[in-house]
Structure 1
């Protein structure tokens, strides 16, 4: 090797280090190139200087569905967002939707495109968004509510610009602010596995959203605040119908009911149910294992009346 070449080789590390120091002093360091799943930096919305900030560590996101259920995921034309249905799409309507990680509900709203929509702030700039929900966006949770992975936030529906029941789901990153939009989407990861790429599909994806070893939510958690919910199973499973008011036309055959008063109807923690077969029963805010039990065998509901006492 000739002497000038040896000298240049020795000086190269020092020159590179010097260049880095000069760049820092000038404030012109270029962030590392963004990967397919995460932006290299995020300009803080509302920042006076518009400086870039390093992406915070992503939460341990889980699928937004109950533990051990199996789902079909695809990106269609939404990459990096996902559309999700039950395995084989045998019937996704009204299936429960849970938060993907602990956080705070930052928005609940209806939109012509996304339909009934919920957005959750998971901290450190990370958000999730849930589109096309069946029920009113504040039927299960409200803005400001704290949620965990076991919290049901809604049910799969087809509201907004949608012709089939599915959940449109997004993970987003914005370093500063409490409301995101689709420009902040990043590739989705569940349980550490990445699901991204144009026009891709994944079959038989199991939800590990198990709340730390099993979904701890009691069955009545499936009942939105201010509703009376009727179930076919004695253990509070198998939703038959639900009502948010007096409904003389209801003809649900049922074995058990739960009543979740929440804050929608303050003071009205009792519901008088009259049966078509005769007689009736008063439901009231009770213990976690049951909020009003009907005799086994099934009854036909003739009317439901909300009361302070009954």
Structure 2
């Protein structure tokens, strides 16, 4: 073969190699660009997922104007809080309220956290309440709507994680779903103030959970409660079953909202002085007001419908 033919053939071969190399470089560049774009999109998505929506106006989970000590303890505990009454003079049995309006998303018993409640609030925010004294569905049940000051339980020492009566409290964020765990914890805010940081103690914080601290909130779901005071306060008598020999004196009563059970969604109250009143299970209708006051209950009967 002539030399120039060999040269041309070699040039053609090199040209094909160049085109292949160029194509490979273009493909590699496209893959790199795609990876960069995907990475950027992933980072943007992760960043978006990591940025919680605006927090509800959480308040302390205790009645208005009561005072409390807050502790974060070590890095394994922060940003959760352990809370006891100011001076730690005895917190066992003190009432626990919801921190904001929401829906009870879980009530359960855990080996470590004991009697536990989670509440789902607006924008993917949750609150968690550990070591409650009573069974977690005593005052509220899963699916119940709660207000900022609805009573949900009492401080206790249930679970292996509680050596003394206190409330372990957390604020959490999860964009979707109804159940959270400790991976979703965020720094706690009460009344717009942040309480977080390893090893911190706030010896006296006053609760501003003051939207409605009526005594009727002490009445467990599914019970009818009778108060001696004209404003719904004072000594309370409660029952969750027929009580034909009740000796409660009353001025005002509240039948707290609970889950409707067929055949037991009304309570008929008869009085020793004569007459009767019907209470219906419900948020508004359930707050029966015996305005005349001073009457004594003769019997309490749970019914599907009250007698005519």
TM-score, normalised relative to structure 1: 0.67
Aligned match of 2:106: 107
Aligned match of 1:25: 37
Q: Which has the greater radius of gyration?
A: 2
Residue in structure 1 matching 2:278, options 278, 284, 294? 284
CA-atom RMSD, angstroms?
A: 4.0
Aligned match of 1:227: 223
How far apart are 1:86 and its partner, in Å? 2.2
Distance in 1, Cα, partners of 2:298 & 2:113? 36
Q: Say which SS state the counterpart of residue 37 (structure 2) adopts.
A: helix
Q: Deviations over 1:84-118 (max 9, x none)?
A: 12222334334332222233222122223222221
Contact 1:229–1:259 (CA under 8 A) maintained in structure 2? yes
Aligned match of 1:175: 175
Q: Deviations over 1:124-156 (max 9, x none)?
A: 332111112233323333333333323333333
Unpaired runs of 5+ residues, structure 2, are: 1-32
Distance in 1, Cα, partners of 2:204 & 2:275? 44
Contact 1:261–1:285 (CA under 8 A) maintained in structure 2? no
Shifted more, 248-257 versus 125-134: the winner is 248-257
Q: Say which SS state the counterpart of residue 121 (structure 2) adopts.
A: strand
Aligned match of 1:60: 57
Aligned match of 1:135: 134
Distance in 2, Cα, partners of 1:135 & 1:280? 37
How far apart are 1:169 and its partner, in Å? 0.7
Aligned match of 1:75: 72
Contact 1:109–1:137 (CA under 8 A) maintained in structure 2? yes
Aligned match of 1:188: 188
Aligned match of 1:165: 165
Distance in 1, Cα, partners of 2:106 & 2:216? 24
* Change in 2 beyond 3 A, CA 1:116/1:293: farther
* Change in 2 beyond 3 A, CA 1:69/1:289: same
Q: Say which SS state the counterpart of residue 135 (structure 2) adopts.
A: coil
Shifted more, 172-181 versus 279-288: the winner is 279-288
Q: Say which SS state the counterpart of residue 143 (structure 1) adopts.
A: coil
Aligned residues: 266
How far apart are 1:82 and its partner, in Å? 0.9
Shifted more, 282-291 versus 160-169: the winner is 282-291
TM-score, normalised relative to structure 2: 0.67
Contact 2:134–2:156 (CA under 8 A) maintained in structure 1? yes
Contact 1:105–1:121 (CA under 8 A) maintained in structure 2? yes
Aligned match of 1:200: 200
* Change in 2 beyond 3 A, CA 1:243/1:144: same
Distance in 2, Cα, partners of 1:282 & 1:158? 42
Shifted more, 262-271 versus 174-183: the winner is 262-271
Contact 2:111–2:159 (CA under 8 A) maintained in structure 1? yes
Contact 2:68–2:84 (CA under 8 A) maintained in structure 1? yes
* Change in 2 beyond 3 A, CA 1:228/1:144: closer
Query: More helix by proportion, 1 or 2?
Result: 2
Q: Deviations over 1:130-185 (max 9, x none)?
A: 11223332333333333332333333333333343322110112233221111211
Q: Say which SS state the counterpart of residue 88 (structure 1) adopts.
A: helix
How far apart are 1:259 and its partner, in Å? 3.0
How far apart are 1:31 and its partner, in Å? 6.3
